C-alpha cells in the first residue's frame, strides 16, 4: 500500500497534455442583471483535491480563486432577479412558453461548446474521474433536452379548454417568483441544473450560487447565461453562504428555495425567511441508505452492486449505500467477494484510464474518516481489507469495517466517503428497526431472490423511503423517475416531470359557459390578446 500511495500523485509533466493546467484562474466575474461584473474585494483560494510531486515533496494544487462577495453585493443580484420578475409582470414570466424554450435551447447550444473546459475543471476541482465527469456533463445536457420536451407536452395539454359543470376553464402552470438555486459539490453541475433549468423555463427568475467545490467550472458558462437570457433572469453569485445566502433569505424576497446539502443548513436558512409560509422549498438532504443482503441471494450480483453502490465517486453520492446489513449465513462469502472486487478498483488521478478511486475535495475529510475508523475499532470492529483506511494527503483508500454495531458512530453518521460499514444480522427485525428508527428516508437496496421475503419487505419499507431498489444499488436515475426522500432526507420530489411542477403553480382562468363569455374568449384567442389564454400548440 505504501508503494501505491508513494506513486499515486503525479508530477506536473506526467499529466496528459489535454488535462494539464495553465496558470491559476483568478476569477473575479459574477453575473448580475445581464452583465459580467468585476469583484475587487477579497477572493477565496480554490484548491484541488489533486496533489503534485515536486522533488521529494507533494503539494496541493492551487487552481485559482473565486469572489467572496459580501451581503450587499449578493443583494444586488437579488434585486436584479426581483426586478426582472417585476411582481410577475416582467418580460420573462409573461413570455410565451415557446419563446422561453428558445432561450433555453440557445443556452444549451452554448453550453455544449464548453464541454471540454467544464469536464477538465470537474476533474481538477472535485476529483471526479474522466468518465463520470463526461457523464455528468452529458447527463445534464440530456436533462435539459428532456425538460424542454416535457414542458412542450405540458403546454400542449394546457392549450385546450375544459368544460366542467357549466364552467369553461383553461389551466396553465405559472411561475412562482424568484428562485434561489444551490447545488452540492459532488454534482456541482448536474444537481444544480436539475433545479436551475426547470426554475428558469417555468418563468421564474433565478439567483444561483455554485456549490462549495466545483466553483470555477461554472465560469465557462457565464457568457452563455448572460447572452441567452434577458437581463436579471439569471444571476450568478459567489461567496460564503453565511454571508450571501443568509442575507438573501432574510430579505424575504426569495419565493423558491432549491437546495441540495445538509438538513441542518437547509433548516437554518429556511428559518431566516421572515414569511416562511410564502417560501416553497425543494430540498435534497442527508441520507444513510442501507443495502440489505438476505440469506437467499445471488451473491455475485449483490457484491457487484454493493461495491459500485458504496464506492463510486469514493462514496460521495447522496444515494450511495452507506451501510450494509448482511445475513450471517452469507456474510463470510459476501465479505470475501467484496474485498476481491474492491482490490480491483484502480486508485489514481481522475484522468487516468479506468481509474475508480480518487482524492477527496473536502479539507479535513481524511481526518474525519480516520476518526470514524478509530471509533469503530475501539468498539470492536476491524478493517478487513488490505490497506483499508491508509491515506496520503487528500486520498483515502476505502476501508471495509466489520463487524459494525449500533454503538459505533459510523452506524449512524453519513460518512459521505470511502468507508463501508458492514453489519452482520440474524434477525431481520433488527434491520427493519434500523430503517424505521432512522432519521433518514431516501432509498434502500434489497438483495435477495425469495419472493415472499422481498414482497413483504417492500410493503414494510414502502412507507419509509422514497425508492426501494431490488437487487440493484441506490441511484437517482433515470431522471424521469421521481427522486425524493422522507424524514431528514428531502422535501419535495424532483424528476424531469416533477421539477416543472415544483417551480410553478396551476393557475385557472374560468368563466361561465355562456354565449357572451364564449364570444369574449374566442375574440381574445383569435386576436392573440393574451399569452395565457391561447390555444397555440407547440410543435
Binding residues for ligand G3H, rule: CB under 6 A, are 186-187, 191, 317-319, 475-477
43 or 141: CB nearest ligand G3H: 141
CB closer to ligand G3H out of 191 and 413:
191
Report how far Cα 253 is from the mean position of its chain's Cα atoms.
24
DSSP-assigned states of every residue in 208-250: EE--SSS-GGGGGGHHHHHHHS-TTSEEE--S-HHHHHHHHHH
Taking the least distance from each CB to ligand G3H, the nearer of 239 and 291 is 291
Nearest distance in Å: CB 113, ligand G3H? 25
3-state DSSP assignment of residue 100: helix
- Grid coordinates representing 429 are 427485525
The answer to whether the bond into 403 is cis (omega within 30° of 0) is yes
Which DSSP category does 163 fall into? E
Give the other-Cβ count within 10 Å of 66's Cβ. 24
* Angstrom distance (rounded) from CA 183 to CA 534: 36
Beta carbons of 93 and 217 less than 8 angstroms apart: no
Minimum Å distance from CB 194 to ligand G3H?
A: 8
- Nearer residue to ligand G3H within complex by CB, 196 or 384: 196
- The length of the chain in residues reads 539
Name the helix (H) or strand (E) containing 431: helix 428-437
Shortest Å, Cβ 315 to ligand G3H: 11
List, in sequence order, every residue forming a beta bridge with 236; answer none if it has no partner. 31, 208
Q: How far is the CB of 273 from ligand G3H (least distance, A)?
A: 25
When the beta carbons of 65 and 312 are compared against ligand G3H, the nearer one is 312
For residues 205 and 316, which CB has a smaller minimum distance to ligand G3H in the complex?
Answer: 316
Nearer to ligand G3H, 216 or 285 (CB): 285
Q: How many CB atoms are located within 10 Å of the residue 65 CB?
A: 19
CB of 403 to ligand G3H, least distance (A): 28
How far apart are CB 490 and ligand G3H at their closest, in Å? 10
Give the start-end residues of each E strand in 332-473.
Answer: 346-347, 355-357, 382-383, 391-392, 395-396, 399-402, 419-425, 440-441, 443-447, 467-470
Q: How many CB atoms lie within 10 A of CB 4?
A: 14
Cβ 1 to ligand G3H shortest distance, Å: 28
Amino acid at each position: 500500500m505504501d508503494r501505491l500511495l508513494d506513486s499515486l500523485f503525479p508530477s506536473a509533466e506526467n499529466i496528459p497534455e489535454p488535462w494539464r493546467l495553465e496558470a491559476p484562474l483568478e476569477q473575479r466575474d459574477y453575473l448580475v442583471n445581464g452583465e459580467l461584473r468585476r469583484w475587487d474585494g477579497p477572493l477565496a483560494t480554490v484548491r484541488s483535491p489533486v496533489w503534485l510531486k515536486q522533488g521529494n515533496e507533494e503539494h496541493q494544487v492551487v487552481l485559482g480563486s473565486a469572489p467572496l462577495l459580501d451581503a450587499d453585493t449578493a443583494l444586488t443580484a437579488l434585486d436584479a432577479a426581483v426586478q426582472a420578475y417585476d411582481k410577475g409582470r416582467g418580460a420573462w414570466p409573461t413570455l410565451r412558453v415557446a419563446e422561453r424554450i428558445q432561450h433555453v435551447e440557445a443556452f444549451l447550444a452554448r453550453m455544449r461548446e464548453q464541454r471540454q473546459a467544464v469536464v477538465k475543471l470537474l476533474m481538477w476541482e472535485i476529483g471526479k474521474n474522466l468518465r463520470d465527469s463526461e457523464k455528468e456533463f452529458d447527463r445534464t445536457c440530456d436533462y435539459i433536452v428532456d425538460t424542454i420536451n416535457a414542458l412542450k407536452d405540458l403546454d400542449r395539454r394546457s392549450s385546450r379548454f375544459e368544460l366542467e359543470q357549466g364552467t369553461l376553464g383553461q389551466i396553465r402552470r405559472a411561475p412562482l417568483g424568484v428562485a434561489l438555486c444551490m447545488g452540492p459539490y459532488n454534482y456541482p453541475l448536474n444537481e444544480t441544473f436539475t433545479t436551475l433549468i426547470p426554475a428558469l423555463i417555468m418563468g421564474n427568475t433565478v439567483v444561483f450560487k455554485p456549490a462549495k467545490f466545483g466553483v470555477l467550472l461554472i465560469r465557462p458558462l457565464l457568457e452563455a447565461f448572460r447572452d441567452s437570457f434577458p437581463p436579471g433572469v439569471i444571476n450568478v453569485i459567489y461567496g460564503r453562504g453565511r454571508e450571501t445566502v443568509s442575507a438573501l433569505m432574510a430579505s424575504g424576497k426569495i419565493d423558491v428555495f432549491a437546495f441540495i446539502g445538509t438538513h441542518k443548513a437547509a433548516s437554518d436558512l429556511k428559518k431566516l425567511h421572515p414569511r416562511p409560509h410564502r417560501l416553497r422549498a425543494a430540498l435534497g438532504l442527508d441520507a444513510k441508505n442501507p443495502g440489505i443482503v438476505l440469506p437467499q441471494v445471488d451473491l455475485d450480483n449483490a457484491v457487484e452492486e454493493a461495491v459500485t453502490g458504496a464506492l463510486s465517486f469514493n462514496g460521495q453520492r447522496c444515494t450511495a449505500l452507506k451501510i450494509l446489513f448482511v445475513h450471517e449465513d452469507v456474510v463470510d462469502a459476501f465479505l470475501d467477494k467484496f474485498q476481491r472486487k474492491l482490490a480491483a478498483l484502480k486508485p489514481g488521478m481522475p484522468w487516468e484510464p479506468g481509474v475508480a478511486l480518487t482524492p477527496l475535495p473536502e479539507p479535513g475529510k481524511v481526518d474525519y474518516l480516520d476518526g470514524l475508523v478509530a471509533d469503530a475499532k475501539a468498539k470492536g470492529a476491524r478493517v478487513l481489507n488490505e490497506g483499508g483506511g491508509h491515506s496520503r494527503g487528500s486520498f483515502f483508500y476505502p476501508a471495509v469495517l466489520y463487524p459494525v454495531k449500533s454503538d459505533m458512530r459510523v452506524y449512524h453518521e453519513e460518512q459521505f466517503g470511502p468507508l463501508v460499514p458492514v453489519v452482520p444480522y440474524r434477525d431481520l427485525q433488527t434491520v427493519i428497526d434500523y430503517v424505521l428508527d432512522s432519521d433518514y428516508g431516501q432509498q434502500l437496496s434489497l438483495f435477495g431472490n425469495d419472493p415472499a421475503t422481498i414482497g413483504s419487505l417492500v410493503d414494510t419499507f414502502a412507507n419509509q423511503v422514497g425508492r426501494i431498489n431490488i437487487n440493484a444499488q441506490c441511484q437517482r436515475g433515470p431522471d424521469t423517475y421521481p427522486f425524493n426522500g422522507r424524514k431528514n432526507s428531502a422535501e419535495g420530489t424532483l424528476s424531469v416531470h416533477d421539477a416543472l411542477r415544483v417551480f410553478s403553480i396551476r393557475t385557472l382562468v374560468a368563466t361561465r359557459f355562456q354565449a357572451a363569455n364564449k364570444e369574449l374568449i374566442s375574440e381574445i384567442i383569435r386576436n392573440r390578446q393574451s399569452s395565457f389564454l391561447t390555444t397555440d400548440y407547440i410543435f
